[in-house]
Amino acid sequence: MKSLSIVIPAYNEEQRLPQTLELVVDYLKSRNFRFAEVLVVDDGSRDGTAEVARRAGAQWPEIKLLQNPGNRGKGYSIRNGMLKAQGDWVLFSDADLSAPIEELPKLEQAVQQQNAAVAIGSRALDRSLIGVHQSAFRETAGRFFNLLMRILVGLPFWDTQCGFKLFRADAAREVFSRVTTDRFGFDVEALFIAKLKKYKTVEVPVRWNHAEGTKVSMFGDSVDMFLDLVRVRLKQFQGFYK
């Protein structure tokens, strides 16, 4: 892998972002990529997230700030970053680095060995790799969502929601130019489109630690994510993804 873009969606991440960016830049320097960039996508934060990213960019030219037109959602942020990325491969990672950036080689190895265009980090394939678990309620809800996803959408994956996914640049552009989900259900739509477009996708177990401060509401967002599953199927039947 000669060049890499990393997309980090950020909403009110003033506290966590400085350490995250330092860790990511240190990692990139250790890899000696021909080209590397970090796109911080500020989703209309009400705190100093944008200023943190600007200061980091002044210190490390790899870091670039993108700003959404207001608070549009994680899916919108990822789409914004993925379509502006310049690397041959594009990783999107949560701002809390729940999956450590050092797990990237596992995704790289998977796409190379299996000639895949997409690799997705997974908490479900090997739960012994989870250091800090979510609450039992959240983990159970996640498994139930995955079951519904398999029934309604038919994807074969055990964990579509882990925020650590690697796309080949051409796949990223084709997939995310068609994604319409702005909030937390975007992962399923992106992976569904990748399947329709015949981009081979592999699921890879990664280390993961729950970080406090999640932006996902267990009630409001869970309902929206279920409805997003239904919408994806309806769009397919209507020929939207052709």
Contact assessment for residue 57 and residue 65, using Cβ atoms and an 8 Å cutoff: yes
Six-digit token string for 108: 């790289």
Instruction: Tell me the pTM.
Output: 0.94
Angle, alpha carbons 40-133-41 (nearest 5°): 10
Contact assessment for residue 230 and residue 148, using Cβ atoms and an 8 Å cutoff: no
Residue 225 CA to residue 13 CA, distance in Å, equals 23
Instruction: List C-alpha distances in Å: 101 to 50, 106, 212, 238.
Output: 21, 10, 18, 39
Instruction: List C-alpha distances in Å: 89 to 9, 92, 179, 200.
Output: 17, 10, 18, 15
Res. 217: pLDDT tops 70: no
Q: Per-residue pLDDT tens for 114-124? A: 999 999 999 99
Residue 94 CA to residue 162 CA, distance in Å, equals 9
Domains of the chain are 3-237 (3.90.550.10)
Res. 213: pLDDT tops 80: no
